[in-house]
Each structure stands twice: as structure tokens, then as C-alpha cells.
A = this chain, B = another copy of it.
Amino acid sequence: MARSMHVRRPATLASLAAELGVSRTTVSNAYNRPDQLSPELRRRVLDTARRLGYPGPDPVARSLRTRKAGAVGLLLTENLSYAFRDPAAIGFLEGLALACEDAGTGLLLVPANPEREDVASVHRAGVDGFVVYSVPDDDPHLAAVLERPVPTVVCDQPDLGTVDRVGIDDRGAMYELAKHLISLGHRRVGVVCMRLARDRNDGFVTAERQHAAHFHVQRNRLSGLAEAFSEAGVDWSQVPVVERFDHNMASGASGAAQVLDKDPQITALICTSDVLALGAMTEAARRGLRVPHDLSVTGFDGIREAEAAALTTVRQPVLEKGRAAGKLLLDSSERTRPRSVNLATELIIGKTSAAPRGGAEERWFGP
């Protein structure tokens, strides 16, 4: 009798209880609250479970009842695998994973293909909260996350006022970097930046597009640059700014090429990420331009590869950012208002920035 129907239906708490002649509660307690029943009975329950091939309480059913999924979702609008290609993203993930393992929580990578407007993956994710990392502010996936009744923390996003946020002062950091270049004597510069919106635009960027950029991070870095150079008397609208949709070294190289073709006279090339900057360096080398003698190149992020290349850049604590995001999300203390955390950055003066050729003369004859 007991073994008939073999594996027709997998055993459940109820079938186990029936087999044993006890209540479902008791079986449940055998797994979750050993102190609620006698050791003998518990042993009997567990033994029969093994015999019947009962794998223990179903996690989904338990989640439904307890209203805890034991996982946090990570939304980053890129193909999922991008998370493992981009150095900064990897660092962020490591920090987030650190926070998760401390809390014994799982980390669910939510697929959010930026091409399709398919928000179903967000709706389908059984999680206790979301971390949103660097998506455009008009991303439908972000909107879908915000509609879900779970705590959320956004990273590298504008302060929404309704959810926790962690980020850095992109604008201020880039302003400082610009000041550094300006103090070296650079007045004629070019920029290569990451994508500014969901639509692909591999080319020059109008002032309007800069202002309307949907990627908070890029918008603020550009605005920091614009402010510093404007203060230094440079007409920002004349500065060539080139955008690249894909974020890799090849983009950095081709972006640099486009800027240098447009204005071969520039003395510094400012990239809004280290990856782009490293790509730009290869293009400079290809053209026989010596860095920093003929051309200064700067990045942003402070990834390991940049350090190895002695790149002038802004170091941001990507790992800490991830960890802070996780902590914010997992710290369930009751709070009335959303919190906003800004992490410190550090300007790293490497060996890829120096005074421009003839920069001294310019200053001698200048005002």
C-alpha cells in the first residue's frame, strides 16, 4: 500500500502526514521547529520522509506562506551576461554578493533585455527586494520594479525620493578631474562617453542630448566637465563629445578616433570610464601619439587595469557601492524616509596626464 503508485505524485507534507497518521502541522514542525514535538516522533517523521522520497517542504509554497523569498533581485539593464564582462559591474556585484552572503540571502540576476520592452521578468521574480544598478531613468524595467511592493535601492540613479539610493558625486568628481587638466594648461579637449540613452547613437552629441541624457551617471559627469571648462573660459558647446553605445575598449578606440579626426589639435581626451580610456590609449598608440606627451588621456572608475596602466582617473569604491546597496536593502530596520548614501571618490593622478605640448607658451602669452 505504502509503496503503490510509486512516484506517481511526489510526496507532500500532507501525504507524509497521512502516511504517518499525524497532522500536517506536526510534519511541518519536524522540519522547522524541532522543539515542538518529541524527538522520537520527529525521527519517525524524518525517516518516513526519506523512505517516501519527500525532499522537505517545498520552497515556493513556503515562500508564499511566510512571505519571504530569501533572495534579492538585481536589475541591471544590459544583457545579463554584461554583469560579468564589465570590470566595474563585477566589482559592484562582488560587493553586493558579500552583503548577501552575510545575510544568508540569495542573489537573483533578473534578465532584462534592453532591446525588448519585456517587463515580465521583473514581474516573475520572486524576491524580497530589488537592487537596481545603473539603468536609464526612463527604463520600463525600473518602472516595473518601483511598482512592486518590495523595498528597493537604486544605484547610480537620480534620487527618486521614494526609495533608498547609493551612489557617488559623479558631477563633483569629474569637476575635480577637469580642474586638474585645466591647471595643467589644457583648454582644447575632447570627450568620449558611454551611452546617454536607450537609443543607439554612435557619434557626436549635441548639447541638448547631453542635458537630456537618461543615464544619471553620464549626464552628471558631462555636466561636471562642462561646468569646469566653462569656468575656465572654454566654450563647452565647441568641445567635441562622442558617444558610444557599447561599453568596451573597441568603443573607446573608435570614439577616440572620431574625436581626433574632428579636431586633431586637442591636447586631452577625457573618457567617462576607464574601459573607454584604455581603448583610447590604444588608438593614440596606433596614431603614434605619445601619452601623455602628445595627448593626455583620463578615465573614470579606478579599475585594476587602469591602475596597471597608470591611468589618470577617478577611483570610485565599486565594491563598497555594491555592499552598501545590499546592506541598505537587507537592513530591515523600520525607517520612515528613504536614505541616500554618497560614497567618497578619489582623484588619481597617473602618468597619462601632463601639460600639453606648448601649454607653457600658451600660458606665457595668455591673460
Contact = CB atoms under 8 A, between A and B. Distances in A.
A311 B57 CA distance: 50
A112 B299 CA distance: 37
Interface string A93-123: 1110110110011111111010000101101
A126 B63 contact: yes
A81 interface: yes
Contacts of A98: 79-81
Contacts of A90: 84, 90
A126 B59 contact: yes
A123 B64 CA distance: 15
A147 interface: yes
A81 B94 contact: yes
B105 A107 contact: no
A79 B95 CA distance: 12
Contacts of A69: 60, 126
Contacts of A121: 70, 104, 106
Contacts of A107: 80, 108-109, 111
A148 interface: yes
A44 interface: no
A59 to B, nearest CB: 5
A138 B94 CA distance: 27
Given A10-B149, A93-B84, A100-B80, A63 B60 contact: yes
Contact of A123 (B56, B73, B104, B126): B56
A209 interface: no
A5 interface: no
Contact of A106 (B85, B101, B125): B125
Given A111-B101, A113-B101, A124 B84 contact: no
A71 interface: yes
Interface centre among A73, A81, A111 (most CB of B within 10 A): A81
A111 to B, nearest CB: 5
Contacts of A126: 59-60, 63, 69, 71, 126
A106 B106 contact: no
Interface string A48-91: 00000001111111111000011101000001110111000011
A113 B104 CA distance: 9
Interface in A4-62: 10, 55-62
A356 to B, nearest CB: 31
Interface string A124-150: 111000000000000000000001110
A79 B59 CA distance: 22
Nearest to A31: B123
Contact of A148 (B55, B91, B113, B118): B55
A240 to B, nearest CB: 32
Contact of A149 (B55, B63, B85): B55
A5 B135 CA distance: 35
A101 B80 CA distance: 6
Contacts of A94: 81, 84-85
A150 B91 CA distance: 32
7 contacts: A60-B63, A80-B100, A81-B97, A81-B98, A97-B109, A101-B113, A106-B110
Which 4 A-B pairs have CB atoms at the shortest separation, nearest pair first?
A: A84-B94, A81-B97, A80-B101, A107-B109
Given A56-B123, A80-B107, A106-B109, 12 more contacts: A59-B123, A63-B63, A71-B125, A79-B101, A81-B97, A85-B94, A90-B90, A101-B111, A104-B113, A106-B124, A107-B108, A107-B111
